[in-house]
């Protein structure tokens, strides 16, 4: 057959320019048009509202105490000192131990990793089972689970203390990991279920036809395609578990207390006068891990949320 792709010159003779006077070509858009002012204006005003606290935290954490007492919290620091950060990290005292937040940091990491891994693994399997393997009663359990998302933690404190005691896990790291898995499960399962239901049905049917079983499909087909929702799950769980104070302090012992307990102790124990700069430095330090994880995967988070929440 003849090769048709060869480009052909324009058959019509290029007539002389026929454009007349009057508007022609791209419409000149004034870059400072009224719509743009409103658009960027509102965004900037909201951006300031959102950035204000971060600005205050950073600025105050770099000031010495005299400068704080005298000036107001919005003025930039005259002479910047990192002493409050050092103190918050290593020397701030909570009761007897004066080793700042550092002790809590490694505890938090030790709590975070297993909790995030376990809770996401369990929730993703739940979501997958609910989405593709409709078994009788599955939806009723799911509704109970969603109902669980609404129950305030305080209500469940006591029953879980008893539950863990009977299982002999009270006060141990495993106990806390289990608690985080339980309380993370509702919303995560909801997200995973929505995500997997939005996946094309044919994919799942094709795999079934090829003889792949429940786990085969999960690992070979579903998992590889669910990076966005995994990112969302990781961000939600990391922020939730890292920032938790209540469970960390009730279900573990002092040598396992997460960083938030140290933060609470530093901020709430007043050596003479309240050291705002150390408190703020400690606050930023505690928020650093979830913030960094969020900054790294912000974009994926939006795409994941789209798939996870929208198709619900």
Name which of residues 21 to 80 contact another protein (CB under 8 A): 22-27, 39-40, 42-43, 46-47, 49-54, 56-57, 60, 68, 72-74
- Residues 98 to 117 in contact with another protein, rule: CB under 8 A: none
**Complex with another protein: residue 224 or 253, whichever CB lies closer:** 253
Joined tokens for residue 57: 């935290």
Q: How far is the CB of 221 from another protein (least distance, A)?
A: 15
Q: Footprint of another protein on residues 219-258 (CB under 8 A)?
A: 235, 239, 242-246, 249-251, 253-255
H or E stretch covering 215: helix 214-217
Interface with another protein in residues 181-220 (CB under 8 A) = 181-182, 185, 187, 189-190, 194, 197, 213-215
Containing 68, the helix (H) or strand (E) segment is helix 65-70
| 281 is a contact residue toward another protein (CB under 8 A) | no
Query: 117, 122, 173, 300: which one contacts another protein (CB under 8 A)?
Result: 122
Interface with another protein (CB under 8 A), residue from 147, 205, 219, 225: 147
Which stretches of 133-200 are DSSP H helices?
Answer: 138-150, 153-167, 173-198
Q: Considering the complex, what minimum distance in angstroms separates the CB of residue 91 from another protein?
A: 13
Report, in Å, the least distance between residue 79 CB and another protein: 19
Distance (Å, whole) CA 261 – CA 109: 14
The burial of 272, by beta-carbon neighbours within 10 Å (0-12 exposed, 13-18 middle, 19 or more buried), is given as exposed
Residue 70 C-beta: closest distance to another protein, Å: 10
Select from 11, 200, 211, 224 the one that contacts another protein (CB under 8 A): 11
Q: How far apart are CA 106 and CA 28, in angstroms?
A: 58
- Contact residues for 145 (Cβ-Cβ < 8 A; gap 6+): 126, 185, 186, 189, 190
Please report, in angstroms and rounded to a whole number, the separation of the first and last CA atoms in the chain: 51
Instruction: Tell me if 264 contacts another protein by CB under 8 A.
Output: yes
CA distance 257 to 173: 10
Under 8 Å between Cβ of 128 and 218: yes
Residue selected from 65, 86, 117, 163 as contacting another protein according to rule CB under 8 A: 163
CB of 266 to another protein, least distance (A): 8
């Amino acid at each position: 057959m003849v090769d048709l792709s060869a480009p052909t010159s324009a058959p019509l003779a290029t007539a002389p320019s026929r454009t007349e006077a009057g508007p022609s070509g791209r419409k000149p858009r004034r870059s400072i048009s009224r719509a743009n002012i409103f658009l960027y204006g509102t965004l900037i005003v909201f951006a300031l509202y959102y950035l204000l606290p971060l600005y205050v935290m950073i600025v105050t954490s770099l000031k010495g105490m005299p400068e704080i007492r005298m000036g107001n919290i919005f003025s930039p620091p005259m002479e910047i000192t990192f002493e409050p950060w050092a103190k918050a990290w290593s020397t701030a005292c909570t009761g007897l131990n004066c080793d700042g937040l550092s002790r809590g940091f490694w505890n938090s990491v030790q709590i975070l990793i297993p909790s995030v891994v376990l809770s996401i693994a369990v929730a993703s399997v739940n979501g997958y089972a609910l989405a593709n393997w409709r078994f009788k009663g599955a939806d009723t359990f799911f509704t109970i689970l969603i109902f669980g998302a609404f129950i305030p933690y305080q209500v469940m404190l006591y029953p879980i203390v008893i539950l863990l005691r009977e299982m002999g896990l009270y006060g141990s790291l495993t106990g806390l990991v289990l608690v985080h898995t339980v309380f993370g499960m509702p919303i995560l399962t909801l997200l995973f279920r929505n995500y997997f239901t939005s996946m094309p049905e044919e994919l799942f049917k094709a795999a079934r036809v090829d003889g792949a079983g429940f786990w085969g499909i999960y690992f070979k087909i579903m998992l590889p395609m669910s990076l966005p929702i995994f990112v969302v799950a990781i961000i939600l769980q990391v922020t939730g578990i890292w920032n938790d104070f209540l469970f960390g302090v009730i279900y573990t012992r002092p040598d396992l207390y997460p960083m938030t307990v140290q933060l609470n102790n530093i901020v709430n124990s007043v050596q003479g006068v309240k050291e705002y700069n150390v408190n703020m430095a400690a606050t930023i330090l505690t928020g650093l891990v979830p913030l960094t994880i969020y900054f790294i995967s912000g974009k994926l988070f939006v795409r994941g949320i789209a798939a996870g929440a929208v198709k619900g």
